[in-house]
Chains A and B, each alone.
Chain A
Amino acid sequence: MLEYIQFVLAPQVVTGLALGVAVILVALGLTIIFGLLDVINMSHGEFYAMGAFIALALGQVGLPFWALLIAVPLLMLPIGYVVERGLIQRVFNSPDRHVTTLLLTFGFGLVLEDGLRLIFGPNPHRPETPIPGAIEILGTYLPLYRLFMVGFGGLLILATALIVYRTRLGAMVRAAAFDRNMAASLGVPVEKVYAGAFAFGVALAGIAGVLLAPIYSVFPTMGRDFILLAFTVIIVGGMGSIGGATIAGLFLTQVQAISSLYISPVWADPIVFAIMVIMLVVRPRGLKGRLGHA
């Protein structure tokens, strides 16, 4: 029994955690964008792929891994800002914002995905693991890089929550999410907050791409497979909730990791999806309330 925990269960839990923090980073971006702008960003998975590809390109130039973790989000912030101002704002005030923005970002996702294929080719790339080796904790060997991911990702999630709930900037974001017009009349630069939050979400997805690139391969359609899990996480967690996305992200990736020990990993996805369906039936609003509303 002890051996089972040491050699099977514990490594699987850590693997699940590493995937979990990456999913949460992607989901946080989605959920903040939805909570604030009321926009479902269908191109979010492609931004995640973009982060991985930028890291790949910069890594080949010779930038060390820690520099990538700073450079990629810094590069993606202006991209996100421009996309929000130039594309989303164009249809933002149309009568059916949910549908039009969803379709627009979906189209943009197609362009991004094929653009990545045009530049980098369709074949998967696999960057080297930046932190090789493993460490023994209580008789369990755990890969160092996954532990680093859990730690670094955890810090980022915490920092995001602190920014949103404990800073003046975060107060502006929450105010704009609660009542756009009221926030604007009190002097919150709502349009900049919108674009900034979108850029922030996109940068988080980019970091998730950098972190996961050495574990999974980097290929143009990588965002597509990943985005369903991120959507499941924000639905279970409650659309527009940071705390909810974190809890749901940890829970669902653990369900996926542990259930794939007993059944074929192929069928782990339907189980995660079934949890989402049950959640929608029992509590359609999700675990937690929306940004700025609770």
Chain B
Amino acid sequence: MHDALTLDARANHWLALALGLACIGTACIGYAIGDTFYLRLATEALIFGGLALAVDILLGYTGLLSLGQALYFGLGAYVSAVTLIAFPSFWTAMGAALATGLFGGLIGGLIANRVRGVYFALITFGMAQVAAKAIYNTRSLGASDGLIGVPVLDVNLGIVTVSTASPVGFFLLALGVVTLLYALCSYLMDTPFGRLLIAIRTNEARVPFLGFRTTTLRLGSFVLASCVASLSGALYPMLRGFVSPELLFFSTSGNAVITVILGGVGTLVGALYGSIIFTIVKSVIGSWTEHHLIVIGILFMAVVIFLPKGLMGLAQPLMRRMVHRGKP
């Protein structure tokens, strides 16, 4: 016996599978025609999709709007870059980023979870802004120029070795990492932990009466989100070879929120679709005009007004019918 939420999650898995297949198809075509630019762009879309996943856990499940998720994305990227420069190993860098996400998430969560609603949005915004300013002014981290010179890596995956310099290889690696993050998040959201987060979003005052501590649950979701953001961020320097303070700026956090709204809040897979569409839109408009923010702002307002459930809000009824037909 499955409830509506599980069935919805299954419908989303089909959409995620379709996305994964499309990505592998893209990789094959890209490999066949020897493309670099578009594969790099697609990799970037996946990486920022990971950041959007983190925003969706907080916004779509726990009901907390984070305006500073770029804090953990940027910290993950910086830690990964510093680690790679000192000791070029993929697994060490990812491990360091995970530790940063855990530790930073605990500290940030203890501060931000003291408050709710708009206060939460503003305090996450503030934390990211202060950290961004601190890095922007720290000479040893490259200050406003950022850190350059992240070496090319050979990632040993046991069976195969992938070089980050290979566009198709690294694209598939990023796809693997983001898929794992997606699988982890959607698994957790289908456990009692995830259901309690939804309960918090729906009515936080009632959850303690069921015998659960909301502070622990909220902290858990915050740490999960910061780890997901941090691990996605860790891939960024491997892709671009540098990190810059812009990764922590409000524009990064804001874009992640736009991505989630565009894809559909509370669906997880919507965050990934949203990121791909957003990256395409940004790059297409960016090639026409340097004033792409106007278009993005208008797109954003239009989605908030006319499409509050995002693209998944359009796709989900169809998928739901498809999945429900097979099950009683």
Q: Which residues of A approach B to under 8 Å, CB–CB?
A: 34, 40, 87, 90-91, 94, 98-100, 102-104, 106-115, 117-118, 224, 228, 231-232, 235, 239, 264, 266-267, 269-270, 273, 276-277, 280-281, 284
| Cβ 8 A contact of A103, one of B126, B134, B137, B300 | B300
> What 0/1 pattern do residues 284 to 314 of B give for CB contact below 8 A with A?
0000000111101111110011001000000
* Majority DSSP secondary structure for residues of B touching A: helix
Extra 4 A-B pairs, beta carbons < 8 Å, given A100-B304, A103-B261, A273-B126: A40-B118, A98-B121, A99-B65, A239-B119
Please determine whether A40 and B121 come into contact, CB atoms closer than 8 angstroms.
yes
Please determine whether B297 and A110 come into contact, CB atoms closer than 8 angstroms.
yes
Q: A90-B305, A269-B133, A281-B114 are in contact. Are A103 and B257 (CB under 8 A)?
A: yes
The residue in chain B whose Cβ has the minimal distance to the Cβ of A111 is B297
Please determine whether A270 and B294 come into contact, CB atoms closer than 8 angstroms.
no
Please determine whether B129 and A110 come into contact, CB atoms closer than 8 angstroms.
no
Give the docked Cα–Cα distance between A284 and B111 (Å). 11
Q: A266-B133, A284-B119 are in contact. Are A107 and B294 (CB under 8 A)?
A: no
Q: How far is the CB of B69 from chain A (nearest CB, A)?
A: 14
Please determine whether B293 and A111 come into contact, CB atoms closer than 8 angstroms.
yes
Please determine whether B119 and A280 come into contact, CB atoms closer than 8 angstroms.
yes
Please determine whether A277 and B118 come into contact, CB atoms closer than 8 angstroms.
no
* Majority DSSP secondary structure for residues of A touching B: helix
Q: A102-B65, A115-B294, A231-B125 are in contact. Are A91 and B304 (CB under 8 A)?
A: yes
Q: Which residues of A contact B308 (CB under 8 A)?
A: 91, 94, 100
Q: A98-B118, A107-B300, A107-B304 are in contact. Are A117 and B126 (CB under 8 A)?
A: no
Please determine whether A228 and B129 come into contact, CB atoms closer than 8 angstroms.
yes
Q: How far is the CB of B303 from chain A (nearest CB, A)?
A: 8
Q: Closest 6 CB pairs between A and B?
A: A110-B297, A107-B300, A111-B297, A114-B293, A107-B301, A114-B294
Q: Does B184 contact A (CB under 8 A)?
A: no
Give the docked Cα–Cα distance between A104 and B133 (Å). 26
The residue in chain A whose Cβ has the minimal distance to the Cβ of B111 is A277
Give the docked Cα–Cα distance between A214 and B232 (Å). 43
Q: Does B117 contact A (CB under 8 A)?
A: yes
Please determine whether A270 and B134 come into contact, CB atoms closer than 8 angstroms.
yes
Interchain Cβ contacts under 8 Å between A and B, 29 examples: A34-B118, A40-B122, A91-B304, A94-B308, A99-B65, A102-B65, A102-B118, A103-B258, A104-B304, A107-B298, A108-B301, A111-B298, A112-B297, A113-B293, A114-B291, A114-B292, A114-B293, A114-B294, A118-B294, A231-B125, A235-B123, A239-B119, A270-B133, A273-B126, A273-B130, A277-B111, A277-B123, A280-B111, A284-B119
Give the docked Cα–Cα distance between A276 and B126 (Å). 9
The residue in chain B whose Cβ has the minimal distance to the Cβ of A109 is B297
Q: How far is the CB of A260 from chain B (nearest CB, A)?
A: 13
Q: Does B28 contact A (CB under 8 A)?
A: no
Please determine whether A110 and B294 come into contact, CB atoms closer than 8 angstroms.
yes
Chain B's interface size range is: 35 or more
Give the most central of B114, B129, B254, B296: most A CB within 10 Å: B129
Q: Which residues of A contact B250 (CB under 8 A)?
A: 224
Q: Does B318 contact A (CB under 8 A)?
A: no
Give the docked Cα–Cα distance between A112 and B296 (Å). 12
Please determine whether A284 and B301 come into contact, CB atoms closer than 8 angstroms.
no
Q: A103-B304, A104-B301, A280-B115 are in contact. Are A110 and B126 (CB under 8 A)?
A: no
Q: How far is the CB of A50 from chain B (nearest CB, A)?
A: 14
Give the docked Cα–Cα distance between A266 and B136 (Å). 10
| Cβ 8 A contact of B291, one of A107, A118, A232 | A118
Q: How far is the CB of A237 from chain B (nearest CB, A)?
A: 13
Q: Does B59 contact A (CB under 8 A)?
A: yes
Give the docked Cα–Cα distance between A114 and B299 (Å). 14
Give the docked Cα–Cα distance between A273 and B122 (Å). 11
Please determine whether B293 and A106 come into contact, CB atoms closer than 8 angstroms.
no
Q: Which residues of B contact A224 (CB under 8 A)?
A: 250
The residue in chain A whose Cβ has the minimal distance to the Cβ of B255 is A110
Give the docked Cα–Cα distance between A99 and B300 (Å). 13
Q: Which residues of A contact B121 (CB under 8 A)?
A: 40, 98-99, 102
Q: Which residues of B contact A102 (CB under 8 A)?
A: 65, 118, 121
The residue in chain B whose Cβ has the minimal distance to the Cβ of A264 is B137
Q: A103-B261, A269-B130, A273-B126 are in contact. Are A110 and B304 (CB under 8 A)?
A: no
The residue in chain A whose Cβ has the minimal distance to the Cβ of B123 is A280
Q: Which residues of B contact A232 (CB under 8 A)?
A: 126
Q: Which residues of A contact B305 (CB under 8 A)?
A: 90-91, 104
> What 0/1 pattern do residues 83 to 119 of B give for CB contact below 8 A with A?
0000000000000000000000000000100110111
Give the docked Cα–Cα distance between A99 and B257 (Å). 11
Please determine whether B304 and A111 come into contact, CB atoms closer than 8 angstroms.
no
| Cβ 8 A contact of B122, one of A90, A111, A231, A270 | A231
The residue in chain A whose Cβ has the minimal distance to the Cβ of B136 is A266
Please determine whether A239 and B118 come into contact, CB atoms closer than 8 angstroms.
yes
Q: Which residues of A contact B114 (CB under 8 A)?
A: 280-281, 284
Give the docked Cα–Cα distance between A90 and B300 (Å). 14
The residue in chain A whose Cβ has the minimal distance to the Cβ of B292 is A114
